[in-house]
């Protein structure tokens, strides 16, 4: 395959980035373009960068479905600075038959000689330079110089002019109340809903975000960094889905709705709070609290952290709300009553499809995410169907209740004329 790699901080990802990806795909006949955010950007180690979960959420909300432009988490797999040479080496080892094209901006063409191991980069990929300069002669002169230095690795990429940059968006977003023209609608809505870049949050009160940060710090001491990232992804993916559903109903600005978004955020954050226990400890914990589960559930050790988390969220984290506890307890398989409980729907879907997830289900994650934003029941039906398909394909049986839940979701879809 011919694969484009578009790396960057993407703080935030905007329509100019998308235009570059589309142009690369079209002009060089690429099979796909992978949008690859840096976990620790080499050139911004001393600068504040927006939290990973938000950068990934903003990208996932901006990418079109079905165009072959996808989020790639390769640089989140390892510790330390995200050096392009290391990333391209890894990709080449994994997919030696692929032809790689690395996409950079014109500013990076000037600075390329200062990058970490630039010769390695040039040996592993054709480097596409998105042209923005009005001084064509100067650009061609620099391009020729870099090609002479690095064996002809560089190609000019013509991109429609877009007067937008991440820096400009960050500087102006606080002052704008209307949608920013440089952002995809989903990204713009997300920024304002959760108060990024200094704007006032519209979907949740500031004290709700403060409570989230407090619980994040407390949770961080009990689970792995990888699990914490997943939990944050579930939290904001679920909360954003809830905000989207409420917005479509014209209810997002009601006080009760902001409370519901806050509760969904916290339930998503704590859904895996019992994951620090071993399977034996989890079972003992449930029996100690005399939790009644069907024999089929006891037999599937991998889902017992759900009901255990329901208890732990109450005991350790002070959660008393019945809907929050329900969402935490049922996040693995859902329940027959899930359609009547939007918070449970949101956390169940988000656990499967949050932006730190990189599995490849059928249908793909971008399709599930887009569908779930429009319709929670449709999203849950996709998640349940994908889970059953995967388990059946590898010969693993599951609780028969999951099949009944799937049938219930399909019936609900038929009632709505979408089945």
Q: What is the greatest pairwise CA distance in the chain? A: 77
Torsions phi, psi of 52, nearest 5?
A: -50, -45
176: how many CB neighbours lie within 10 A of its CB?
14
The sign of the torsion formed by the CA atoms of 293, 296, 299, 304 equals: negative
Angle at which helix 225-248 crosses helix 342-353, to 10 degrees, equals 130
Q: What CA–CA distance (Å, rounded) separates 45 from 386?
A: 39
Please state the domain extents for the chain: 2-163, 205-415
Per the structure block, which two tokens stand in for 324? 């929050």
Q: Report pTM.
A: 0.96
Question: 399 near 374, Cβ under 8 Å?
Answer: no
DSSP assignment letter at 264? H
CATH homologous superfamily, domain 205-415: Hypothetical protein af1432 (1.10.3210.10)
CB-based contacts of 86, cutoff 8 Å, min separation 6: 78
pLDDT of residue 395: 86
pLDDT of residue 160: 84
Please give the helix or strand (H or E) that residue 59 lies within, else none.
Answer: helix 52-62
Q: What CA–CA distance (Å, rounded) separates 260 from 204?
A: 9
Residue with tokens 């329509």: 15
pLDDT of residue 30: 98
Torsions phi, psi of 299, nearest 5?
A: -75, -20
The sign of the torsion formed by the CA atoms of 332, 270, 248, 341 equals: positive
Question: 145 near 126, Cβ under 8 Å?
Answer: no
Q: What CA–CA distance (Å, rounded) separates 373 from 179?
A: 19
Q: What CA–CA distance (Å, rounded) separates 389 from 362?
A: 8
- Calculate Rg over the CA atoms of the chain: 23
Angle at which helix 255-270 crosses helix 225-248, to 10 degrees, equals 160
Query: How far apart, in Å, are the Cα atoms of 110 and each of 20, 133, 146, 193, 402?
Result: 18, 12, 9, 37, 56
Question: 260 near 246, Cβ under 8 Å?
Answer: yes
Q: What CA–CA distance (Å, rounded) separates 110 from 262?
A: 46
> 362 in helix, strand or coil?
coil
CATH homologous superfamily, domain 2-163: HUPs (3.40.50.620)
Closest by CA position to 83, among listed 33, 124, 47, 55: 124
Per the structure block, which two tokens stand in for 36? 């690859």
CB-based contacts of 20, cutoff 8 Å, min separation 6: 6, 103, 105, 130, 157, 159
Angle at which helix 225-248 crosses helix 52-62, to 10 degrees, equals 50
DSSP string, 229-255: HHHHHHHHHHHHHHHHHHHHTT-TTSH
Question: 128 near 100, Cβ under 8 Å?
Answer: no
Query: How far apart, in Å, are the Cα atoms of 5 and each of 34, 38, 62, 223, 326?
Result: 5, 12, 17, 32, 41
The one-digit pLDDT tens for each residue of the chain (419 residues) are 999 999 999 999 999 999 999 999 999 999 999 999 999 888 666 578 999 999 999 999 999 999 999 999 999 988 888 899 999 999 999 999 999 999 999 889 999 999 999 999 999 999 999 987 678 899 999 999 999 999 999 999 999 877 889 999 999 998 887 899 999 999 999 999 999 999 999 999 999 999 999 999 999 999 999 999 999 999 999 999 999 999 999 999 999 999 999 999 999 999 999 999 999 999 999 999 999 999 989 999 999 999 999 999 999 999 999 999 999 999 999 999 999 999 999 999 999 999 999 999 999 999 999 999 999 999 999 999 999 999 888 888 888 999 999 999 999 999 988 65
Per the structure block, which two tokens stand in for 181? 């023209």
CB-based contacts of 374, cutoff 8 Å, min separation 6: none
- For residues 70-102, b (16+ Cβ closer than 10 Å) or e, as one string? bbbbbbbeeeebbbbbbbbbebbeeeeeeebbb
Q: What CA–CA distance (Å, rounded) separates 186 from 252?
A: 15
């Amino acid at each position: 395959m011919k694969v484009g790699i578009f790396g960057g901080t993407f703080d935030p990802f905007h329509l100019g980035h998308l235009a570059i990806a589309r142009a690369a795909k079209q002009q060089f006949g690429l099979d796909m373009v992978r949008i690859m955010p840096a976990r620790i950007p080499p050139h911004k180690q001393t600068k504040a960068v927006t939290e990973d979960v938000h950068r990934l959420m903003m990208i996932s909300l901006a990418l079109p479905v079905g165009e072959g432009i996808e989020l790639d988490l390769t640089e989140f797999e390892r510790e330390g600075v995200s050096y392009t040479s290391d990333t391209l080496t890894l990709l080449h080892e994994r997919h030696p038959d692929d032809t790689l094209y690395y996409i950079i901006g014109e500013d990076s063409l000037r600075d390329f000689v200062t990058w970490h191991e630039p010769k390695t980069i040039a040996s592993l990929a054709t480097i596409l330079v998105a042209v923005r300069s009005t001084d064509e002669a100067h650009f061609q002169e620099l391009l020729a110089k870099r090609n002479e230095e690095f064996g002809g690795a560089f190609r000019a990429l013509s991109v429609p002019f877009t007067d937008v940059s991440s820096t400009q968006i960050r500087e102006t977003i606080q002052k704008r109340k209307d949608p920013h023209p440089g952002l995809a609608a989903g990204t713009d809505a997300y920024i304002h809903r959760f108060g990024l870049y200094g704007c006032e949050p519209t979907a949740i009160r500031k004290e709700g975000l403060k409570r989230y940060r407090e619980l994040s710090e407390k949770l961080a001491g009990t689970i792995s960094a990888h699990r914490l990232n997943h939990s944050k992804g579930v939290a904001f993916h679920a909360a954003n889905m809830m905000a989207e559903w409420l917005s479509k109903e014209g209810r997002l600005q009601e006080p009760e709705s902001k409370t519901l978004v806050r509760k969904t955020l916290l339930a998503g954050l704590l859904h895996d709070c019992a994951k620090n226990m071993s399977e034996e400890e989890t079972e003992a914990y449930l029996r100690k609290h005399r939790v009644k589960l069907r024999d089929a559930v006891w037999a599937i050790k991998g889902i017992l952290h759900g009901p255990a988390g329901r208890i732990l969220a109450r005991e350790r984290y002070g959660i008393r709300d019945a809907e929050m506890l329900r969402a935490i307890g049922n996040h693995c398989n859902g329940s027959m009553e899930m359609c009547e409980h939007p918070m449970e729907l949101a956390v169940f879907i988000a656990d499967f499809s949050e932006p730190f997830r990189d599995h490849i289900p059928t249908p793909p994650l971008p399709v599930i995410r887009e569908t779930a934003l429009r319709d929670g029941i449709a999203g849950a039906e996709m998640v349940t169907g994908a889970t059953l398909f995967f388990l059946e394909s590898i010969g693993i049986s599951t609780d028969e209740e999951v099949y009944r839940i799937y049938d219930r979701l399909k019936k609900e879809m038929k009632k709505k004329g979408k089945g």
